[in-house]
Amino acid sequence: MQVVKTVDEIRKMVKSWRKEGLSVGLVPTMGFLHEGHKSLILRAAAENDRVVVSDFVNPTQFGPGEDLESYPRDINRDAALCEEAGASVIFNPEPSEMYAPDFSTYVNMENLSKGLCGKTRPIHFRGVCTVVSKLFNIVSPDRAYFGQKDAQQLAIIRRMVRDLNIDIEIVGCPIIRESDGLAKSSRNTYLNPEERQAALCLSRAVKLGEKMAAEGEKDADRIVSEMISLIQAEPLAKIDYVEAVNGVTIEPVHKIEGTVLVAMAVYIGKTRLIDNFIIE
Ligand code: AMP
């Protein structure tokens, strides 16, 4: 698997593919890849002639005191997974390649970034929108692939692409879970065995909420409060938020109508994990 470190080189590569009339898919990631990322790459490989996987721990989306330095990295392992999943190349720039010392232009999606994760991570989505815009400009893909695992991020990217007339199809992909239900995440590696067990309260809460909705519960607040009770029964869990919002606008809802996103962020020890489900 070829690993490209510079903007110039990846641009040249994509240009040569374009000359041959080939289509290009982009899978933006922060690396330390797992089956969740792999599902995005497999889908991109099925729908495009060439696939670029970006593997970049983006400093602008981490706030002070967050896990930028300790975020797990393993480019050799990532390369093997990309090869297996049918990627064409990994774009793995150094932060200095992406951000000049006097970098000062940001993309900020105003409304959808304020709630849910935006409350505790106020600069996070500005960093995400900025780096994703840069990757879109560098790679110019036909399609870009994002996981429903980061549901707010996906909604924000869709809105950004609409608002800024970016001519790239955004493809959302379902959440991939461990066999016991825990949503796959690079951050799961932070969990010790006891925390790993405790982390199951997130997926159990998702299952409970899904079951209530499937049985016809229309009161979003009741679904949320049952989920909160379930999570609170786990001594190692500390809730950041559990909320029901409109799946497109990310505005709070109290009734189940239209597309509702029920999303949560929960600390298990020091590790902040997210999970969600959609009620159509
Ligand atoms: P990350 O490396 O965590 O920034 O994630 C890169 C992409 O993979 C994002 O679009 C995520 O939503 C997606 N992703 C991460 N975990 C999962 C998962 N368990 N299932 C599906 N997609 C995922």
Collect the ranges in the chain with pLDDT lower than 70: none
Can you tell me which residue has the tokens 């679904």? Answer: 223
Interacting residues of 222 by C-beta distance below 8 A, sequence separation 6+: 212
Nearest to 231 by CA among 245, 221, 241: 241
- CA-based torsion, 227, 118, 260, 279: positive or negative: negative
The 10 Å Cβ neighbour count of residue 170 is: 17
Choosing from 62, 150, 156 the residue with most ligand 1 atoms within 8 A of its CB, the one to mutate for a pocket test is: 150
Cα 10 to the chain's mean position, in Å?
23
Please report, for residues 24, 40, 198, the alpha-carbon distance to residue 170 in angstroms, rounded to integers and kept in the order given: 13, 12, 34
Residue 113 pLDDT: 96
CB 161 within 8 A of CB 168: yes
Residue 218 pLDDT: 97
Residue 134 pLDDT: 98
For strands 50-55 and 260-268, give the pairing.
unpaired
Please report, for residues 38, 175, 192, 212, 265, the alpha-carbon distance to residue 147 in angstroms, rounded to integers and kept in the order given: 11, 6, 25, 24, 16
User: Does any ligand 1 atom lie closer than 6 A to the CB of residue 40?
Assistant: yes
pLDDT digits (tens, 9 = 90+) for 27-81: 999 999 999 999 999 999 999 999 999 999 999 999 999 999 999 999 999 999 9
The predicted model scores a pTM of: 0.98
The closest residue, in CA terms, to atom 15 on ligand 1 is 36
The closest residue, in CA terms, to atom 12 on ligand 1 is 147
Residue 248 phi, psi (nearest 5): -100, -45
Q: Kindly report the average pLDDT of the chain as a whole number.
A: 98
Residue 124 annotated to the active site: no
User: Does any ligand 1 atom lie closer than 6 A to the CB of residue 37?
Assistant: yes
Say how far apart CA 277 and CA 260 lie, in whole Å: 8
